[in-house]
């Protein structure tokens, strides 16, 4: 059976950053970008490094209800729900976002498995930090686990499609592409050509197209199609 593996932010949603979480915390995106520029690690590691520091320094806590309510402000890419509803494939999310949130979103029911960053909660049930971060390399480990759960060898990506939108997806895209599968770079109509050039230079992608999941869109045709 065919397997589709989706990133979340920027791939299923319109925003490449979890802007609803950032706003809920009360921090500034420019501060996050400054922290990322000044610190070492992958993008996801640096984002959650900032997240944990901000939560501690400002004594910020989020209840589980507040975390789950963030879905109400998610901007999904057009057509995604109807598209997922009609798929006859195995579908997974592999994301740097919080696993607990992803498991409680409305479209979670359309996925056979979800992988993400785990949250740390205090004794009162408040989110206080990111615990086990879904790094770029751990995305590859998640894909290997998906293959194993589907009775495959850990490098058998035949009939596997990975859909992602950024540099944090490169190892996952390259792993799938180099092991017989396909990787798709999706973006908003205002494509970031510099980002595309970087991804292309990494030999990580087979296709690029707008993140539009409505019937007859280029993306839907590619995902629903056969081999390269």
Q: Are strands 126-130 and 160-164 parallel, antiparallel or unpaired?
A: unpaired
In angstroms, the CA 191 to CA 45 distance is 25
42 alpha-carbon distance from chain centroid: 14
What dihedral do alpha carbons 208, 166, 170, 89 form, nearest 10°?
A: -60
Binned at pLDDT 50, 70 and 90, residue 228 comes out as very low
- Reported as a single tens digit per residue, the pLDDT across 134-187 is 999 999 999 999 999 999 999 999 999 999 998 899 999 999 999 999 999 999
Structural contact between residues 130 and 54, judged by C-beta atoms closer than 8 angstroms? no
Give alpha helix (H) positions in the chain.
Answer: 19-25, 29-38, 43-57, 64-68, 80-86, 99-102, 136-149, 170-178, 193-201, 218-224
> Which option is the CATH number for 3-18+69-224: 3.40.50.1100, 3.40.50.1000, 3.20.20.10, 3.30.70.360?
3.40.50.1000
Q: What does the pLDDT average to over 112-133?
A: 94
Q: Residue 119 — pLDDT band, cuts 50, 70, 90?
A: very high
User: pTM score, two decimals?
Assistant: 0.94
Cβ(21)–Cβ(71) below 8 Å: no
Query: In the chain, what percentage of residues exceed pLDDT 70?
Result: 99
Q: For residues 102 and 99, what is the distance between their CA atoms, to the nearest angstrom? A: 5
- Are the C-beta atoms of residues 160 and 1 closer than 8 Å to each other? no
């Amino acid at each position: 059976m065919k397997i589709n593996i989706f990133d979340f932010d920027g791939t299923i949603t319109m925003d490449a950053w979890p802007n609803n979480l950032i706003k809920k915390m009360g921090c500034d995106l420019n501060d996050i970008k400054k922290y990322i520029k000044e610190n070492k690690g992958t993008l996801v590691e640096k984002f959650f490094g900032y997240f944990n520091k901000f939560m501690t320094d400002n004594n910020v806590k989020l209840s589980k209800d507040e975390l789950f309510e963030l879905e109400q402000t998610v901007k999904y890419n057009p057509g995604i729900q109807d598209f997922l509803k009609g798929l006859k494939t195995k579908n997974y999310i592999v994301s740097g976002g919080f696993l607990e949130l992803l498991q409680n979103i409305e479209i979670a029911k359309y996925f056979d498995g979800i992988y993400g960053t785990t949250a740390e909660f205090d004794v009162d049930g408040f989110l206080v930090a990111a615990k086990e971060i879904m790094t770029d390399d751990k995305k590859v480990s998640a894909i290997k686990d998906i293959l194993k759960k589907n009775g495959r060898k850990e490098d058998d990506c035949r009939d596997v499609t990975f859909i992602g939108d950024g540099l944090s997806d490169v190892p996952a895209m390259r792993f799938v592409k180099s092991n017989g599968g396909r990787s798709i770079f999706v973006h908003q109509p205002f494509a970031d050509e510099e980002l595309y050039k970087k991804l292309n230079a990494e030999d990580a992608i087979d296709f690029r197209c707008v993140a539009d999941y409505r019937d007859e869109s280029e993306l839907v045709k590619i995902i629903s199609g056969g081999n390269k």
